[in-house]
Homo-oligomer: A and B are copies of this chain.
Amino acid sequence: MEAALEAGCVEEVFARPGADDLLPDLADGVRLTWVDDRALGSLSESVSPGGVVALCRYVDVPLAEALAGARLVAICADVRDPGNAGTVIRCADAAGADAVVLAGSSVDAYNAKTVRASAGSLFHLPVSVERSAEAAVRAAKDAGLTVLAADGAGETRLYDAPAGPTAWLFGNEAWGLPADLADLADHRVAIPIHGRAESLNLSTAAALCLYESARRRGA
């Protein structure tokens, strides 16, 4: 909630009398409404909600705005698990990315589990929603980004991937990237597997890719 308040995204806060100690400082213009437990329960998907719920405005931005001047971007194509999407947003933030694009049939950015897994990062960097994954990839290229598809069968090793302004393209947790979408990327990049694991899960793979870009920048 602190991250949402700092970002100026909170429109109204609902709190239970007695939850004053949980109540953050509210800026001017943020309405505060006292409610009982039952009302609080109906405002939250949580089984045992805390004493405070914030109503936030949507934070996603148009694709062109998210990509303008960006040097590191994560594009999620058909990422369906809300925890994975939120974790990618959190990793992208930590790696210093400029934006995240939830593309194709990816999970809703406002799914409660996505918001929670993002640990505030949903409010830290621009997130864009684009129904066509192809359009997201083309827009990233048009914005001067080299598109690198994370692909276990990729022809380029992670540590040999080109540096410079980069958009990482991540596919669905179960079936990866469709071939035509992977082909649209500038390179298909594989994380080396040293042991006998067949692959990495989506959010750990995304962390390795995004941080490799950050490391290359000498950051």
- Residues of A at under 8 Å CB distance from B? 87, 90-97, 117, 119-121, 124-125, 159, 191-201, 203-208, 211, 214-215, 219
Contacts and interface: CB of A to CB of B under 8 A. Distances in A.
Contacts of A124: 195-197
Among A159, A197, A206, residue most surrounded by chain B Cβ atoms (within 10 Å): A197
A198 to B, nearest CB: 7
Nearest to A97: B195
A69 B199 CA distance: 25
Contacts of A214: 192, 194
A219 B192 contact: yes
Contacts of A96: 194-195
A-B CB proximity, top 10 nearest: A96-B194, A204-B207, A94-B197, A93-B197, A93-B195, A124-B196, A96-B195, A94-B193, A194-B219, A121-B197
Contact of A194 (B87, B94, B159, B205): B94
B200 A207 contact: yes
Contacts of A119: 197-199, 201
- Count this chain's copies in the assembly: 2
Contacts of A197: 90-91, 93-94, 119-121, 124
B125 A94 contact: no
A76 to B, nearest CB: 15
A198 B120 contact: yes
Given A94-B195, A119-B201, A125-B196, 11 more contacts: A90-B200, A90-B201, A91-B200, A93-B196, A120-B197, A121-B196, A124-B196, A124-B197, A191-B211, A194-B219, A207-B208
Contacts of A87: 201, 204
Contacts of A194: 94-96, 214, 219
A93 B194 CA distance: 7
27 contacts: A90-B200, A90-B204, A91-B197, A91-B200, A91-B204, A92-B195, A93-B195, A93-B196, A93-B197, A94-B193, A94-B195, A94-B197, A94-B199, A95-B195, A97-B195, A119-B199, A120-B198, A121-B196, A124-B195, A125-B195, A125-B196, A194-B219, A200-B207, A204-B206, A207-B207, A207-B208, A208-B208
